Structure 1
């Protein structure tokens, strides 16, 4: 049975993600791939176009199909929330960039803030009655090339952050070190963070938001940030799976 474009794209996608082909390497000629996979040249070119749409390769005249995928960023786990980074004016998304040797600027993050009624999930997380007014802060982060890497929406009690930069700042980050630096100034800086990660395929609306074809996996992210026993932020996010390498260092309890 002859291979289809999806099968050929999947093979080279995994080869690129796995490091068999690195940035600047050329993929094999379409005619050679067609022979190897028992396909015609058009099928291979369709597969290469899929990879180009995903930002993994670029088709260049004379040079062929060249890998443009960069090594994934290091996602630093709870280290990205450290007070020392916040004090230096480094928000969490930028901490990942710095740890990965990648540039960043505050305008990489776009923000929308509004007051909404708490859904059952948000109400439970913040220990509020369903329908209570809360502050919702949504962010979309792009890399230096303009491609989305993650989205994140946080919810806060009005009584905790009303009138602060978390509610009023709609350009870039809320504070110099992100929203947690604002909470620090309120005496509500997070002392504990719980995170829940779920790798999966994106829904159509999620793929549109992150400008992805449906074949690229995402990581569904949930976070509870506490100041001692008080949940000060509940957040839900989506990360483009292949853009990050998840790295954690944690103490081992007795």
Structure 2
């Protein structure tokens, strides 16, 4: 669970291929943060440099366990995140599922407009 002060904001569970993390701190089954630099640092140190990721977000009604765990007020939805992380060669190195209290979390994206949206003069 991740908190801001004493208030829980979300959970995040990452899954890795055993051959990518064998012998690292990520194989410890105890739920906890991966340490300084997180799981991406462990992957980088093992030779798997992150290149890009794909995220899927959707809102839903929380389970009773999520209401209790995230200390949600009645009627508050959660936003579930599914993230797949890749190397430049397309190797999947992480799949993560996050459950976020909708009122305590925000996403912001900044990305280039594809070339197909430009006119013939490149503008």
Name the TM-score class by shorter chain. 0.7 to 0.9
Query: Structure 1 residues 169 and 177 mapped into 2: Cα distance closer, same or farther (>3 Å)?
Result: farther
> 2 CA distance for matches of 1:198 and 1:218?
8
Name 1:205's counterpart in structure 2. 65
Deviations for 1:155-208, whole angstroms, at most 9, x for unmatched residues?
A: 111111012021238585324111101111111121110000002221222212
User: For this pair of structures, how many residues does the alignment match?
Assistant: 114
Unaligned runs of 5+ residues in structure 2 are: 116-123
Query: Structure 1 residues 171 and 205 mapped into 2: Cα distance closer, same or farther (>3 Å)?
Result: closer
Report the TM-score, using the length of structure 2 for normalisation.
0.83
Name 1:248's counterpart in structure 2. 109
Matches within 5 A, 1:34-73: none
Query: Structure 1 residues 253 and 219 mapped into 2: Cα distance closer, same or farther (>3 Å)?
Result: same
> 1 CA distance for matches of 2:74 and 2:98?
18
Matches within 5 A, 1:232-247: 232-247=93-108
Unaligned runs of 5+ residues in structure 1 are: 1-139
Task: Give the number of the structure whose residues are more often helix, by fraction.
Answer: 1
> 2 CA distance for matches of 1:244 and 1:235?
17
Higher relative contact order (CA 8 A, sep 6+): 2
Is the 1:192–1:226 Cα contact (8 Å) retained in structure 2? yes
Name 1:143's counterpart in structure 2. 4
Report the TM-score, using the length of structure 1 for normalisation.
0.42
